[in-house]
Structure 1
């Protein structure tokens, strides 16, 4: 059984909160953008994890770690792009 799109969105919400905790500071877009980045990171992490055969329905901790890594990566890229625009 696979998590599916909705499952990765929920995991992405958790990942977004964890990414914000791992990378504290003021984000250019505020909490809403950080949540959306978390969801996108969860989806990205879930997609990459499924391609690599990592994660799945029975490994919740691994799924959250994968999604958090994706959210941290996207948050870092977002901050980098926004700081160059300012």
Structure 2
């Protein structure tokens, strides 16, 4: 249980950072918000891939779910910055 939480937070940080890298400009959000949005992006991306699109169960890294997670996290970051009114420079 604790290991799953730690892995989720680490993957969320990585996915959040990747999402911020693919977005143009600079986003003025904290590291904590980046991790939270990355975790949400990973969870939603995994759900979309396995639940809605019928993605397979892989033995290794599921690259398609990772890419979908980054895209979802990037969309969440854009939504968050537009809702909080913080502009990209």
Unaligned runs of 5+ in 2: none
> Residue by residue, what CA displacement relative to the aligned partner does 1:41-63 show, whole Å, maximum 9, x if unpaired?
11111111112113543452212
* 1:36 and 2:36 matched: yes
SS at match of 1:27: coil
Larger radius of gyration: 2
Unaligned runs of 5+ in 1: 1-5
Q: TM-score, normalised by structure 2?
A: 0.70
Deviation, structure 1 residue 16:
0.8
Greater helix share, structure number: 1
Runs of 4+ residues deviating >4 angstroms? none
